[in-house]
Amino acid sequence: MAKMALLGAAVLLAGLLSIAWAQPPPVRKPNILFILADDLGYGDVQTYPNHNSEHGRMDTPRLSELTEQSMMFTDAYAGAPVCAPSRCALMTGKHLGHCTVRSNGPTLNASDTTIAQVLKEKGGYRTALVGKWGLGSNGTVASPNNKGFDHFFGYTSQENAHDYYPPFLWRNEDHYVIEANAKASRKTCGNPFTTHCVWAEDLFINETLTLLEEYSKSEETPFYLFLSFTTPHAGNVGSNAETGVPAPDEGVYADKPWPDVEKHFASCVHKQDAHVGQVLDRLDTLGLKDTTVVFYASDNGAHNEGGHNYSFFDSSGPLRGFKRSIHEGGIRSPLLVRWPGITKPGTTSAQRWAFYDFMSTAADIAGLTGSDLPDTDGYSVVPTLQGVKQDQPDFIYHEYCHPNEDKKGWGQSVVIEPHWKAVRFNNNATTFELYNLMEDIGEKDDLSAQNKNIVEQMTKILDEQHVDGNYCDGH
């Protein structure tokens, strides 16, 4: 009997082990890499529409290659028409009617929860930010490390990020001193500027590649890496003044019969394109390509600063306006998403998406649920990335304190189905504009007088979505 009992136990144990062995291994969470350009226009990426200015198009071969591997969104929106509030929407999942940061200058507060915090604390992700933060200084509750990033290398300050050859950057809470840039100027740095000085963008790429190397050594733990470029934002050499777009040199455009500032702008775009290629190549060589979801976007529309003219390369393409505008040229962004094995390469989607949808989308990619998130204004586009048709969101909302539309003051905009776009200034019905984006993407023909019922519907949304907070001249 004892032998029979032992035999039975052995059979039972063997059966249990076979069941255990037969269980599939746990599904590995995808890595998430978000690459953000600074002030890159909708029409600056070769695969997006552009009227083809007399100066031709800038060459972005690596972004064209990424487009072929990705889903290209035609109707994606940044969070705002300027840098800091756009990043606030991206980080917190809230639109500008609810965000803490609604203009350049203010910072996140203690109650703001970022996607880095969510992925780190709820999803077990390693988190890193390389480049421009702009939402709070070190030593405050709004520092990158205090807002969920395990590792930070770059600028905390919006203004300091205008200096492409800074005397120091931040590595977490410590100064990373760049001795070569101690007395940086256009004269002392030489020609190219990297003869004697160090371009911050090169340091960002080196840091990013080093991080990817480290991450590849422990692939069982996923990572969220936010690579936040400062190019092609206007800037300077050795100061925070926005008096140019100082790439190290004029690069492949040196022989063009263009103003120097436009050669430098084009060179910045070309060099960023090459840097994106370096990152994508490193993902591939490290075996991380198939497990990493890559996002590429711009924080707002094309800039018109530092002597650069956004119309020189037709940077807004078919859109009206540029940076600081609440018309499409100030807020619509290129968006490429590559998710190997999930998103069909070379596809195009007209699904509307705004920066405040990134938190829900990234959490969904990480296998998290709504209960893991703070209150947000966004939704997940993962079904769209999987090839499943989604309803459009009820609306896409934007506002900004000081839009550049004829200096009309505080402005709002909203897009709803099927194709309506409203713009309003100073909460004043007499400034209301209404456009049919399907037929008039350039917002030239105001249809508000002929569509009073649509105006009434959209006025209600504009009124409901803005929460006063004394962020902007009392609004």
User: Distance from CA of residue 246 to its chain's centroid?
Assistant: 22
Q: DSSP letter for 414, please.
A: E
Cα(63)–Cα(54) distance, integer angstroms: 22
Residue 354, classed as helix, strand or coil, is strand
pLDDT band at 25 (very low <50, low <70, confident <90, very high): low
- pLDDT above 70 coverage of the chain, percent: 93
Residue 275 amino acid letter:
H
Give the containing element (helix H, strand E) for 64.
helix 61-68
Cα(248)–Cα(180) distance, integer angstroms: 14
Which pLDDT tens digit goes with each residue over 204-256? 999 999 999 999 999 899 999 999 999 999 999 999 999 998 899 999 999 99
pLDDT score of 475 more than 60: no
Cα(321)–Cα(443) distance, integer angstroms: 9
Reading the block at residue 361, the tokens are 């989308």
Give residue 22's pLDDT: 46
Average pLDDT, the chain: 93
DSSP of 216-235 = HTTTTS-EEEEEE--TTS-B
Which pLDDT tens digit goes with each residue over 114-136? 999 999 999 999 999 999 999 99
User: What's the CA dihedral at 190, 194, 200, 206 to 10 degrees?
Assistant: -170
Give residue 354's pLDDT: 98
Phi, psi values for residue 424, rounded to 5° = -140, 140
pLDDT band at 350 (very low <50, low <70, confident <90, very high): very high
Which pLDDT tens digit goes with each residue over 360-413? 999 999 999 999 999 999 999 999 999 999 999 999 999 998 898 877 788 999
